[in-house]
Structure 1
């Protein structure tokens, strides 16, 4: 998916921001060895709440919202044996398009036996957005990935429906050059798809937790399916996907956090403790 826009398409008020982060293994520790940014997108210090083996970073976008014409590009590279966990301090808000599309591209590359966890807080699409989201994951042999998205269509608490606008999504996961997962779609606000049982079924919140890089066993699947009737789980050879459809962003966040805590000891071979930033 091509994410470039001609310069003429960007208004003077639009933000074009990029962030490149690189992680490397140093003995038993993971270090943040590359940190380059342009525009209002960055991380501050590396955090080690569970010891030096896992480097935590909080991605900051100071404008606090994504408006029509904005472009965000995030590149994460985890070299062999490193382990990075990335999250955000709050919800990402996509504002009214005003005739201009807004774009976000995330690319994650994990080297042999590396681990990457992508755990942002929820994304809220205001009415009349034109959002283009691309998420690409490239895993080497032995690498593992765990990523989550909570998408909210409209601001239900304010009585706003997602009646206009468009959300384009592209998710691609490969390992050792082999395609593991491909998910692509376009949702139009107010369309019949929002009510169709094959798409949202009238739900205003959609959450997905995807893990790649190993096969799920029957015991893990049973644990996940027992968490809540609203949570669906399915497994392929080396991909595990959980989905939630509903009307409550808080419930979706709690379910995704609970599912992550259940999955992490198996998938990442580390215990899971809820991230403090999720409760601030």
Structure 2
């Protein structure tokens, strides 16, 4: 594509997908809203499970400079919904341009639960990404959320030396923040092998369970054994259980995150995780 001066301009991704549910008389959820625009899509695969699964997809195949993507979810009172992404999201070289921007938002009514379990985000050399995730809980609602970042593909010999990432996660209860987890990665962080930063790791993950009594889940998690090469710790306090982990590559990290999520869910992961 060329502008009026004859200079080449690049097309940018724009996408928004929103999925909402309402409650049936038996307490189960039914789809009540499905809006899709641009490259953002959402579908509900048949799973033969009582809890509906929402799978979000970016049909552009990845993110680069100036892209804009938005996902939205609504869980009704007493409802339970699992949401994920069809595959790993990829943030490509931005060419020195502005960051791609991703916004994820959810509202969970009293007594409801949302498991937001996106697959990993792979960050390539030169990527620029700003992502904000905000989950608004009402009353005694619960959420389980996970986020994994992978710096290049180790199997392909890729390294990441240039990166501009701001990745923010917030959970609010009745409008008051109860969990905030901002992550910022820049070249000076990537070049520091100290344990206070990445310590040479190329994959990092956060798993958080927020809800009444959620701190009790930490005890069972401590009894689990993560795959070799994954360094992790778990904390439980005041209605929260939090896992933080780092690893040398994304493969072992994915195995570890899958193990923790299955334990916290008391059941299998979404089908797209098992491909």
- The question of whether the paired residues in 1 share the 8 Å contact of 2:153 and 2:250 is answered with no
Distance 1:217 1:87 in 2: 24
* Correspondence list, 1:83-98, <5 A: 83-98=80-95
Structure 1 residue 55: deviation in Å? 1.0
- The question of whether the paired residues in 1 share the 8 Å contact of 2:143 and 2:211 is answered with yes
Question: What TM-score comes out, normalization by structure 1 length?
Answer: 0.87
- The question of whether the paired residues in 2 share the 8 Å contact of 1:72 and 1:105 is answered with yes
Distance 1:64 1:87 in 2: 16
Distance 2:192 2:238 in 1: 30
1:114 to 112, 115, 121: 112
Which residue is equivalent to 2:101? 103
Distance 1:46 1:251 in 2: 27
Instruction: For residue 65 of structure 2, give the secondary structure of its aligned residue in structure 1.
Output: coil
1:35 aligns with 2:30: no
The answer to which of 42-51 and 26-35 deviates more is: 42-51
1:161 aligns with 2:170: no
Aligned residues: 261
1:68 aligns with 2:65: yes
- The question of whether the paired residues in 2 share the 8 Å contact of 1:128 and 1:189 is answered with no
Question: What TM-score comes out, normalization by structure 2 length?
Answer: 0.89
Report the RMSD for the aligned CA atoms in angstroms. Answer: 1.8
Distance 1:156 1:258 in 2: 21
Which residue is equivalent to 2:132? 134
Which residue is equivalent to 1:80? 77
Which residue is equivalent to 2:248? 247
Rate the CA distance shift 1:38–1:225 in 2: closer, same or farther, 3 A.
same
Which residue is equivalent to 2:13? 15
Question: Which consecutive unaligned segments of at least 5 residues does structure 2 have?
Answer: 1-8
- The question of whether the paired residues in 2 share the 8 Å contact of 1:180 and 1:238 is answered with no
Structure 1 residue 249: deviation in Å? 1.2
The answer to which of 21-30 and 132-141 deviates more is: 21-30
Distance 1:79 1:278 in 2: 25
Distance 2:64 2:100 in 1: 6
Which residue is equivalent to 2:5? none
Rate the CA distance shift 1:193–1:77 in 2: closer, same or farther, 3 A.
farther
Distance 2:157 2:186 in 1: 19
Question: Which consecutive unaligned segments of at least 5 residues does structure 1 have?
Answer: 1-10, 266-271
Which residue is equivalent to 1:222? 219
Structure 1 residue 105: deviation in Å? 0.7
2:187 to 178, 186, 189: 189
- The question of whether the paired residues in 1 share the 8 Å contact of 2:161 and 2:190 is answered with no
- The question of whether the paired residues in 2 share the 8 Å contact of 1:125 and 1:153 is answered with yes
Instruction: For residue 261 of structure 1, give the secondary structure of its aligned residue in structure 2.
Output: helix
Structure 1 residue 140: deviation in Å? 0.3
